[in-house]
Amino acid sequence: MFEYVWLIPLFPAIGFVLNGFLGRRLGKGFVSWVGPSAIGLSFLTAIFIFFELIGRPPAERHFEKVIFDWVVSGNFRTVIGYQIDPLSILMALVVTGVSFFIHIYSVGYMHDDPGYPRYFTYLNLFVFMMLNLILANNFLLMFVGWEGVGLCSYLLIGFWFEKDSASNAGKKAFVVNRVGDFGFILGMFLLFTSLGKHGIWTLDFTEVFANANKLDPATVTTITILLFIGACGKSAQIPLYVWLPDAMEGPTPVSSLIHAATMVTAGVYMVARCNVLYSMAPVSMAIVAIVGVATAIYTASIGFCQTDIKKVLAYSTISQLGYMFLGVGVGAYSAGIFHLMTHAFFKGLLFLGAGSVMHALSGELDMRKMGALRKKIPITFWTFFIATLAIAGIPGLSGFFSKDEILWQAFSSSHGHFLLWLVAAVAAGMTAFYMFRALFMTFFGQSRVDPHVAHHIHESPKIMTVPLMILAFLSIVGGYVGVPHVLGGANHVHEFLAPVVGGGAELGKAHAGISLLSQAWASSGEAGGHSAALELLMMVISVVIALIGIGIAYLFYIKNPALPKLLAERWRGLYRLVYNKYYVDELYEILFINSLKSLGTGLWRGFDDFVIDGTVNGIAYLIGWLSGSIRRVQTGLVQNYAFAMILGGVIIAGYYLIRGIFY
């Protein structure tokens, strides 16, 4: 079965081609079958491969399939090849699985859209690219996938391109991602050339990681920071997070699939994949962890005041991604990936739930115009409720196990620190608050729905609610594959991923002595030696914090709905600051966009007009003139042609003979 790993990306590619070329001609029925079943088939393949992988002893859980040589140049050779190991297959399962349900959901959600075939074409292409990203066995192919998902994201954000805001959001995402990609490319080239100095011209993961110890620490640090810049762009971390909230202009299933469950987690995956490199660069790890935790709390605070349900979810996604980076940043790669997985379930579900709400309310997004919907759309409510519980970290649901693992690792790992834990725990409380705020505002209290919308509120069709229910189920049980030891679980995820990320973690311990965090803050010197009691205590504390968050939300939005307004009046400045997302967009506007614009205008006026245009026009004129005059030599007379030949011959002969005589 391993030999057939290429089937996993092949099916979406076939789907892409069929939908792209025949979709418009063969109609919706055809597209509705081809789109989801392409993903379903690759999901099935991934499941088969997964079980075969589990059947093997952990040490042998690695397989590479070279499809063909891609770029061969001298002693450098890059292949199109896929690799199966616990990390990639887990990602493949998550991606194909969640994609499959979201595809099915989309059949219902997008049903009346005129761009239906186009939508599924892009979506299939996206899955294909994403699978290339995660299954690639070398950096170059990974980069192709990386760029490819970026392209699809751009296309899908701007799916309704006739809306200005949508196409602008698409552009914004594209530009911000380019900044990140630039870092990624630089990192890749630096890696390539610095390994090349040791005579190893390769971008193959296995070879790179096997030879990583040849690199000096400064180089590795630079490489990993550059790669992390790429991850910041793709996974929307500070300071490149600004595109993701705007990306909600795309269709909701797209937000769910690309901007919550899969694509935005690519950065986390990349860091986990390069764990060997990161573990060699404690400074980079510290940066990853700090950026992650800062993003987590910062965007959670923005989530407090948003009124657009999808924006709330967007900021929550960024915040959760921050958790994942915190996890991988403290060397708990498996915890980060575990959270990635559970997050894919519950955040995907939240977005689909929001989509279902929108469906019921004829596209309404403003939570101030919702309320009391729980009776009217019960399935949506219950599934949304489960997801909210999961993200808030209520014990027993998937989010609890994964988030808690990260929190514990942030505290106890050799790269961790008490402050990291503290900030993350507070952010967890904030998450609980704003998520329940969204839940309460949407489903409880008084109905504030527009009267002319209110009379035709309806539950979504089965094709949409069934995926909701499946994802809700996964949001509950998904965590039980990683129950920590302290709770009597086996932490299967950790064990499963150990062959891939274990090496990095081990290496990390070796380098932990020079860890930036331990050195700078010199707190828990006895890192790693914590007792089970302490772990349980931490767990209880984080649950309590989450409950406090929920309690406040209950107080504000159910018990005493006037209170938030009062508070907002009281601290108006702060409220407006947060409401306006700390004016970061405006700041960027002034700092980068305006200054670039004026610089651009200036350059255009001064430099461009006179120098570039002058030169270009000059060159164009010169070439045109040359072209014309050489053409005039083309007289059509055979004598002249022969003459040119003789002239050439004489010149060559003169050169050879003179050279022959004088040398």
Partner 1 sequence: MAENIGTLFQWLIFLGVAFISILASLLLVTRKNPIHSALFLVLNFLCVAVLYILLYSQFIAIIQVVVYAGAIVMLIVFVIMLLDLEVELRSGLKFSYTKLIGGFLALFFFLGIFYAVVAKSPTGKIGSSYTSENITNNVKAVGEVLFTQYLFPFEIVSILLVVAMVGAVILSKKRA
Partner 2 sequence: MKLPEIDLCLIAPEIIVAAFGFFVLLVDVFFSKRENKAYLGWISLVGIFFAGALAVTQAGSVKSGFEGMFISDGYALFFRITFLIIAFLTVLISMGYTQREGIAFGEYYALILFATLGMMLMAAGTHLVIIFLGLETMSISIYILAGMMREDKRSVEAALKYFLLGAFATGFLLYGIALIYGATGSLYLKDVASYIASKNLLRNPMLLMSLVFLTIGFGFKIASVPFHMWTPDVYEGAPTSITAFMATGVKAAGFSALVRVFFSALPGFRPDWTSIMWLIAVATMTVGNIVAISQSNIKRMLAYSSIAHAGYILVAFVAGNDLGVSGILFYLMAYAFMNIGAFTCVILLGKKGEENTLIRDYAGIGFKYPLLSAAMTIFLLSMAGIPPLGGFMAKFYVFSAAVKEKFYWLAILGVLNSAVSVYYYLRVTVLMYFREPEREITGLQFSPAAVAALVLAVIGTLYMGIFPSNVLSFAQKSIAGLM
User: Minimum distance from CB of 646 to partner 1 (Å)?
Assistant: 5
| Nearer residue to partner 1 within complex by CB, 71 or 653 | 653
Q: Which of partner 1, partner 2, none lies near 74, with the C-beta cut-off 5 to 8 A by kind?
A: partner 2
| Nearer residue to partner 1 within complex by CB, 396 or 649 | 649
| Nearer residue to partner 2 within complex by CB, 573 or 660 | 660
* DSSP character string of 173-190: HHHHHHHHHHHHHHHHHH
Max CA distance (Å), the chain: 105
Q: Which of partner 1, partner 2, none lies near 644, with the C-beta cut-off 5 to 8 A by kind?
A: partner 2
Site residues for partner 2, 397-436, by CB under 8 A, read none
User: Minimum distance from CB of 629 to partner 1 (Å)?
Assistant: 18
Please classify residue 621 by burial: count the beta carbons closer than 10 Å to its beta carbon, then call 0-12 exposed, 13-18 middle and 19+ buried: exposed
CB 347 within 8 Å of CB 314:
no
Reported for 28-35, long-range contacts at CB under 8 A and 24+ positions apart, including other chains, are: 28/111, 28/116, 28/117, 31/116, 31/117, 31/120, 32/107, 32/120, 34/120, 35/103, 35/106, 35/107, 35/120, 35/123, 35/124
State the amino acid at position 162 in one-letter form: E
Site residues for partner 2, 601-660, by CB under 8 A, read 623-624, 626-628, 630-631, 633-634, 636, 638, 640-642, 644-645, 647-649, 652-653, 655-657, 659-660
| Nearer residue to partner 2 within complex by CB, 544 or 623 | 623
Q: Which residue has the tokens 């690199």?
A: 215
User: Minimum distance from CB of 648 to partner 2 (Å)?
Assistant: 4
User: Minimum distance from CB of 636 to partner 2 (Å)?
Assistant: 6
Q: Which residue has the tokens 């002969």?
A: 653
| Nearer residue to partner 2 within complex by CB, 531 or 627 | 627
Q: Which of partner 1, partner 2, none lies near 636, with the C-beta cut-off 5 to 8 A by kind?
A: partner 2
User: Minimum distance from CB of 95 to partner 2 (Å)?
Assistant: 24
Q: Which of partner 2, partner 1, none lies near 71, with the C-beta cut-off 5 to 8 A by kind?
A: partner 2
CB 255 within 8 Å of CB 190:
no
CB-side neighbour CA atoms (13 Å) of 158: 17
Spatial separation of the C-alpha atoms in residues 173 and 232, rounded to whole Å: 12
Site residues for partner 2, 19-78, by CB under 8 A, read 68-74, 77
User: Minimum distance from CB of 283 to partner 2 (Å)?
Assistant: 36
| End-to-end Cα separation, the chain, in angstroms | 67
User: Minimum distance from CB of 657 to partner 1 (Å)?
Assistant: 6
Spatial separation of the C-alpha atoms in residues 364 and 380, rounded to whole Å: 15
Q: Which of partner 1, partner 2, none lies near 641, with the C-beta cut-off 5 to 8 A by kind?
A: partner 2
| Nearer residue to partner 1 within complex by CB, 510 or 646 | 646
CA dihedral for 209, 213, 219, 225, sign (positive or negative): positive
Spatial separation of the C-alpha atoms in residues 292 and 424, rounded to whole Å: 9
Q: Is it true that the peptide bond before 395 is cis, omega within 30 degrees of 0?
A: no
Spatial separation of the C-alpha atoms in residues 121 and 12, rounded to whole Å: 9
Q: Which two tokens stand for residue 24?
A: 């418009």
User: Minimum distance from CB of 191 to partner 2 (Å)?
Assistant: 20
Q: Which residues of 632-644 are buried (b: 16+ CB within 10 A; e: fewer)?
A: eeeeeeeeeeeee
Q: Which of partner 1, partner 2, none lies near 418, with the C-beta cut-off 5 to 8 A by kind?
A: none
State whether residue 136 is helix, strand or coil: strand
Partners of 339 in the beta sheet? Answer: none
Q: Please give the residue ranges that form the binding site for partner 1 (CB under 8 A).
A: 639-640, 643, 646-647, 649-650, 653-654, 657
| Nearer residue to partner 2 within complex by CB, 76 or 521 | 76
Phi-psi region of 359 (alpha: psi -120 to 50; beta: other; left: phi over 0): alpha
Spatial separation of the C-alpha atoms in residues 383 and 346, rounded to whole Å: 9
| Nearer residue to partner 1 within complex by CB, 612 or 646 | 646
Tell me: does residue 446 bind partner 2 (CB under 8 A): no
| Nearer residue to partner 2 within complex by CB, 73 or 531 | 73
Q: How many residues bind partner 2 (CB under 8 A)?
A: 36
* Among 67, 65, 204, 212, residue whose Cα is nearest residue 139: 204
User: Minimum distance from CB of 130 to partner 2 (Å)?
Assistant: 20
* Among 309, 441, 427, residue whose Cα is nearest residue 370: 441
Site residues for partner 2, 537-576, by CB under 8 A, read none
User: Minimum distance from CB of 655 to partner 1 (Å)?
Assistant: 11
| Nearer residue to partner 2 within complex by CB, 540 or 644 | 644
Q: Which of partner 1, partner 2, none lies near 632, with the C-beta cut-off 5 to 8 A by kind?
A: none
| Nearer residue to partner 1 within complex by CB, 25 or 632 | 632
CB-side neighbour CA atoms (13 Å) of 341: 29
The strand ranges marked E within 9-75 are 63-73
CA 263 to each of CA 127, 321, 351, 447: distance values in angstroms, whole numbers, following the listed order: 9, 11, 15, 35
User: Minimum distance from CB of 1 to partner 2 (Å)?
Assistant: 25
User: Minimum distance from CB of 632 to partner 2 (Å)?
Assistant: 10
CB 30 within 8 Å of CB 76:
no
| Nearer residue to partner 2 within complex by CB, 67 or 469 | 67
| Nearer residue to partner 1 within complex by CB, 562 or 637 | 637
User: Minimum distance from CB of 44 to partner 2 (Å)?
Assistant: 27
Q: Which of partner 1, partner 2, none lies near 570, with the C-beta cut-off 5 to 8 A by kind?
A: none
Q: Which of partner 2, partner 1, none lies near 537, with the C-beta cut-off 5 to 8 A by kind?
A: none
Instruction: Give the residues lining the site for partner 2 (CB under 8 A).
Output: 68-74, 77, 623-624, 626-628, 630-631, 633-634, 636, 638, 640-642, 644-645, 647-649, 652-653, 655-657, 659-661, 663
